[in-house]
Amino acid sequence: MTGYGAFLDAKTHVGADHGFDPIWQPQSLFPFQRALVEWSCRKGRAAIFADCGLGKTPIQLTWAENVARYTGGRVLVLAPLAVAFQTINEGRKFGIDTVHRREGIEATDRIVVTNYERLQHFKPEDFAGVVCDESSILKNFDGETRKQITDFMRKRPYRLLCTATAAPNDYIELGTSSEALGDLGSTDMLQRFFKSVSGTYARCGGRSGYGAARSTGHFYLRPHAERDFWRWVCSWARAMRKPSDLGFEDDGFRLPPLSVRQHVVKASAPRDGYLFDLPAVGLAEQRSDLRRTIAERCDMAADLINAHDRPAVAWCNLNEEGNRLAKSIRGAVEVSGQDTEEHKESTFLGFVRGDIRVLVTKPTIGGFGLNLQHCAHQTYFPSHSYEQYYQSVRRCWRFGQKSPVVVDMITTEGQADVLSNLQRKADAAASMFENLVAMMRDELRIRRVPTNTLPEEIPAWL
């Protein structure tokens, strides 16, 4: 390539391959899962953004087994709290030797599963590869913990990020994932593809929805750089919400109906100085509105769940909400932040097994990674976090769920702005994922190598 084409090619940033051809895969994997394992092994450092129920756990465990066989070393799988038992069970199911460790490794360990909070008990040099399960949860940790995790990953030659919500409505998070994989960092990504503007919200160019905001200002995706940006993301990530996104059949991967029912409760009295309730303006008024209506909202949730004897999840945001729900719902057990890890794990496991009918917890505690297909009813108190809402709903409404899922969203007259903001974020997230999947399809077509069955005949005049 010469001339202007070579100049443009030199300016294009596409991630490199750092891996190897896969050595082994279980026969029980679906074809699209095998394709993702093959691609991620060849990449060596990759991200898989696959929706809930598409089998990220067997994919990442198969990847880890291949890294362990190829390098002769160990692989560390970092998972959210209480998800480790699910990972161990999946390992047994697919014939992959995994162990759960809390405070360091033993000499015979190959694939080690632990919680993010336990990372300080492990040394990077003991592992050839690292898997971050539900990697989008990283932003929920404080800055010191998040830095510890990313620093641990940067020193390992093989890395895999797995999550259903890569960057629900903030493209900056894609830069965080890229940086963890050793590709462009967030700052370099912004300089290459984005432009800084002022304003409360900045629309991205083209099809990209809203811009990503951070403390140093607001950014929007440069219109002329849109294709290069998504092409760059596709060079280190694969995204899918159903197998057909990768060109496979969707048989067996169709979601049951989802019904989101909105319930609006009224406070027993309006805010001080008001004759009647108005939409809360600003976070301070919204928090005050929620605290004034704890009894009304919790009583509504309890009535809805006590109306049947089936499994249910009651999501809450405040400790006082959780305590009240646990006391007023039959067969409910609460998991709070102050509980021990043993209590959290045993309660989650008891709910999955059916020993506990109703689970009461916060999205930040139980909203990531758990497979709760046996449950088809939730109550939810909305907040500004779209990711928490999406992840919470998808604990039950996921591939593998056999029954229609009902989510009772309980809010107040003062929370109108919260619901509006949640919808805006949902629209932005859908736009981002559609762009990523569409560009991924284009890139796969561009890179497909044709198979010639007949020798090519060159015309005589050439």
Do 193 and 253 touch, CB atoms closer than 8 A? Answer: no
Strand-strand pairing, 258-265 and 217-221: unpaired
**How many whole angstroms separate alpha carbon 432 and alpha carbon 280?**
29
What tokens appear for 216 in the block? 């140093």
Which residue's structure tokens are 């940086």? 179
Which residues 6+ apart lie within 8 Å of 431 measured at CB?
Answer: 207, 208, 209
DSSP H or E stretch at residue 151 = helix 143-154
User: Residue 449's pLDDT is what?
Assistant: 37
Mean pLDDT (10-residue bins), the chain, 462 residues: 54 63 94 96 94 93 97 94 86 93 92 92 95 81 75 90 74 81 85 74 38 49 85 89 89 91 81 61 73 91 97 95 96 93 91 95 90 95 89 92 95 82 83 79 56 41 33
Domains of the chain, residue spans: 3-183+236-251, 258-416
Which residue's structure tokens are 């969203």? 409
Between the two ends of the chain, the Cα-to-Cα distance in Å is 22
**How many whole angstroms separate alpha carbon 98 and alpha carbon 3?**
53
DSSP H or E stretch at residue 347 = helix 341-353
Q: Do domains 3-183+236-251 and 258-416 have the same CATH topology?
A: yes
User: Residue 457's pLDDT is what?
Assistant: 44
**How many whole angstroms separate alpha carbon 396 and alpha carbon 358?**
13
User: Residue 269's pLDDT is what?
Assistant: 64
For residue 236, the SS3 value is coil
Q: Which overall architecture, per CATH, does domain 258-416 show?
A: 3-Layer(aba) Sandwich (3.40)
Give the class (CATH, top level) of 3-183+236-251.
alpha beta
